Amino acid sequence: MLKHRGFPGRLPGTDFQFVIRRPNPRGATPLVARKRHPDRRPEDRRADSAFMAALWAHFGAEPFQRGNLDAGRLSWLFGREVVPASDPFDPASYEALLRIDERRARQSFPEVFEEE
């Protein structure tokens, strides 16, 4: 499992995790597209925004390996702002390649991109 050095481990001051420390011996947790409801708590929305900002700062528009990125946090963005970058795609692989769909990410998280 690739460890993304320099990537934030969590949202500061919270328990919202962005990376995992070690691989699961039974294999990677599969990525699934989770539906984001409009009535989500502000803390959850802030965590999504901070995670997207970290992804953009670390990888930009380039494809990246899933590695030690938290499956739960990725799943809130998967299928919309974060999409598979390879075909075939294995959602249960630490080596899976992903990329940011910049157009969707800019629509969903304008606060992340307004500083450019």
Residues 80-99: what's their mean pLDDT? 95
* Burial group, residue 34, by CB count within 10 angstroms (0-12, 13-18, 19+): middle
| Amino acid, res. 69 | L
**Is the pTM higher than 0.85?**
yes
Q: What percent of the chain has pLDDT over 90?
A: 83
pLDDT at position 115 over 80: no
Q: Which pLDDT score, from 0 to 100, does residue 116 have?
A: 58
Residues 30-71 have pLDDT tens digits of 999 999 888 889 999 999 999 999 999 999 999 999 999 999
Question: Minimal CA–CA distance to 46: which of 109, 114, 115?
Answer: 109
- The pLDDT value recorded for residue 59 is 96
